[in-house]
Each structure stands twice: as C-alpha cells, then as structure tokens.
Structure 1
Amino acid sequence: MTHAFISRLHYPVSALGPGQRVGLWFQGCSIGCPGCISMDTWKPGLGAALMEEILGQLSAMAHEADGLTVSGGEPFDQPDALAVILAHWRAIAGTTTLVFTGRELSEVESWLSDHPDLIDAVITGRFRSELPQTLALRGSDNQRIHALTAAGAEMLSYDRPATAADRRLDVTFDEQGHAWLAGIPARGELARLRRVLAAAGHQTVTSDMVGANS
C-alpha cells in the first residue's frame, strides 16, 4: 500500500467526537446518499497522497490529539489504506478511533474480523434525508453507534438526542481561501448560511449544490 485518496486531513476537529481530534476524510464514495452535504468527497481518484506522507502527518498530530475520527467519502471503499492508517494510529497513539461509514455493520463485519481492535467505535448507516435528524453525531436517525472496544464505550455517550452543542461546526480556511466545515449540521443550516452570507453581499457555493462531479 503506497498511497491513498484523501480529501483532507486536519487537526483539531472538535465536532466529530470527544475532545480535540484529528479528522481524516477519505476521497471517493460508491454509495452516494441523496442529500449528502459532502458531495465534494464522492468522486474517486482525487487527492492521491503517498502513504508515507499521510502517516508522517498523523505522527506529527498524534501527541496533541484526543483521538482520530475517520470519515469521507466512504472509508471502506479503500479498505487496505484504512487498515494501514488505523494500524499506524494504534502504534503511535493511545487514543480512540471513531469511523463513520455509510455501510451497515453487517457489510463491514468481515473487515472488522480481519482487523480486530483497530476501530474503537463505528457509526453506520446510509444518510436518509427523508428520516428525522434528532440524534447526536448523526445525519439521520437510522444511523447507529457501535462500540467495538472497551475504549469505544465512551462514544456511547453520544447515543442520545442532539443538543445545540452537538450541531456546532468547525470552520477552517485553506491556502486558497476556501472554507470548509467539519461536523454534522442541522437540516437546512447550509441553506441558512448561504442566505446570511448573500444578505451580506457574498456569493456562496457549497458542495451540496455543485455535486459529485465538480
């Protein structure tokens, strides 16, 4: 495994699990849930990065971080890269790993059996825009939190109704001045943000508007 396709790698992220975490988003998603707010991460083949560089960045961030959260895109579309990255995290950090996937637990059980103890907790299930969104750390209420290790049991503290604090977002600007948001916004929040910025004279394009092939 020499490389992986990565959308972004950032520290700190405070809106996707407990504490100040490293956030890693895989690029490419074969599921493509209608209404997804991260359609910019769907297209495969973008963001190629040498595995050596990815692991080096993780090592530089690990000593300050409270854990690693992996999302996408769909992490299990790159199962070998996911295994390498999580095994490296286990080797360098004594903190928890949380993985978001659009697949059901039954669909990833084989990978979990082949790579025991690399993931402490996993949030499973496709985003379904027609269902309510009332639960913490989830875009729709069909999604489930599964604790896979004793350490992962702390993630079950999120198995509850969402509060206003759970809907906060981390905002980061890249070198080109583009802003991206980490977190799980309430329904309609991105549209409201666009309206607020438009009222202030700004033109805003978000990934849920431009689609997966942009």
Structure 2
Amino acid sequence: MNIRLSRLHFPVTSLGPQKRIGIWFQGCSIRCPGCISADTWATQGGESTLEQVLGQIRTWLPHAEGFTISGGEPFDQPDALIALVHGLREMSAGDVLAYSGYPFEALSGTLEKVDGAIDALITDPFEINTSQTRPLRGSDNQRLHLLTDRGRALYSCYERDLNESDKSLDVMFDDDGSVWFAGIPSRNDFERLRDLLTDQGHRVQISADKAQNR
C-alpha cells in the first residue's frame, strides 16, 4: 500500500491530549485561503509505503499515548488512510484524532470502512474570516465529532472556549534548517514571527508565502 506523507513527528503535545505521534498527509485538494500548511498542498512528493510508515511509528510506540492525523488532506487518500488507521489500531491502544477540511456529511463512505478506528474527527474547511475561540480548531465553523466511547471520554473536554493552556505549539527542526510548528496558532502569529525575524536580518519564508506564489 502506497501513501504520501509530508512528515511524521514525535512527540506532539499541542494537537490532542498527552504525547502523540503526528502524521501529516501530503496533498490537499481543498486549499483553504489562509492555511498555515500550504507546504502540504502539492500532490507530488512524500511517497512512501504503509509498511515503512508503520515501521517508523513502531519505534515511538513505547512512549506515545495517541495519534493525530492531519495534512494536507488525509481523506484525499482514503484507501491509505483506512489502511493506516487499522494498522495503528492493531499495534497500539492509543487514541486516534483526525482532521479533515471536508464536511462530515461527505465522509460517510470512508468512515464506514474506518469502522471505529478513528476516535475523534475535526471536519470542515478553515475559514480565515471566522472567529477562532475553540480548542483544536482553526476557525469556529469546524466541528469536533466524537466517534467512539474512547473519543467521548478523551475529547468531550474540548467542547469549550480557548484558555491559556491551549495556546502552545510544538517546534521541530529539519537538517536543512527548516523550522516546523505543530499546533493551532493564533491568527497572524506566523506573519508576526516572519516580520520580526526579517527585521533582524534573517531570510524567512512561511507557508502562507508559498500559497501566494502558487
């Protein structure tokens, strides 16, 4: 089974409870204006196999409590997503949180085949002009769906307003000098960071810049 991923990372602490393995799919057909992950839009790159991905994930399992799947758009690769979440379920008791820019009502066919392997799902496109007051969501139009008993136990506490503990990001560094953030930033955080670093003489490009050049 082939799969296209942007990256894997552990630990992720800002996209769900406890220490999580983050799985970002490569490729997105929705391309929401203002998306902070425009680098994951392209449908080329990130080719791998499910076996390779699960092999890497297995090395982190002794220290991980759950999985967060984002992108990109995971549901643009439905067969790979279904195989991935069933593979995760077979080798771990950790919960699975997934993100999709599609409305929940459009995902019924894939979710039926997922068969309970996703515990919580956040759906609907990011809207740059909609307020952002709910945890785990980039805009308030996005909905949190609790799909299993485990999902209800772990994620019902996120149906509330943001608090200070929600305003955190995980930082990742690549060998080429790229810096990556995982989490849900406040509006214009990355633009402010870019401008601050540019003023200090650094050369900086963020995902929003890449989107403008497409």
TM superposition score normalised by structure 2:
0.96
CA deviations 1:101-149 (Å, max 9, x no partner) are 0011111111111221110000011001111111111110000111100
Aligned to 1:193: 193
Question: Does the residue aligned with 1:63 lie in a helix, a strand or coil?
Answer: helix
What amino acid does structure 2 have at the position aligned with 1:68? F
Aligned to 2:9: 10
CA deviations 1:14-57 (Å, max 9, x no partner) are 01000010000000001111111110000102110122110101
What amino acid does structure 2 have at the position aligned with 1:22? I
Aligned to 1:56: 55
> Which 4+ residue blocks in structure 1 deviate beyond 4 angstroms?
none
Aligned to 1:112: 111
Superposition pairs for residues 62-77 of structure 1, below 5 Å?
62-77=61-76
Aligned to 1:122: 121
Q: After the TM superposition, which of the residue ranges 57-66 and 16-25 deviates more from structure 2?
A: 57-66
Do the aligned residues in 1 keep the contact of 2:82 with 2:113 (CA within 8 Å)? no
What amino acid does structure 1 have at the position aligned with 2:49? L
What amino acid does structure 2 have at the position aligned with 1:180? W
Q: In structure 2, what is the Cα distance between the partners aligned to 1:84 and 1:78?
A: 10
Question: Does the residue aligned with 2:110 lie in a helix, a strand or coil?
Answer: helix
What amino acid does structure 2 have at the position aligned with 1:182? A
Query: Structure 2: 5+ residue runs without aligned partners?
Result: none
Q: In structure 2, what is the Cα distance between the partners aligned to 1:21 and 1:124?
A: 20
Q: In structure 1, what is the Cα distance between the partners aligned to 2:130 and 2:81?
A: 29
Aligned to 1:23: 22
Percent sequence identity over aligned pairs: 45
Question: Do residues 160 (structure 1) and 160 (structure 2) align?
Answer: yes
Do the aligned residues in 2 keep the contact of 1:121 with 1:145 (CA within 8 Å)? yes
RMSD between aligned alpha carbons?
Answer: 1.3
What amino acid does structure 2 have at the position aligned with 1:138? R
**Matched residue count:** 213
Superposition pairs for residues 81-96 of structure 1, below 5 Å?
81-96=80-95
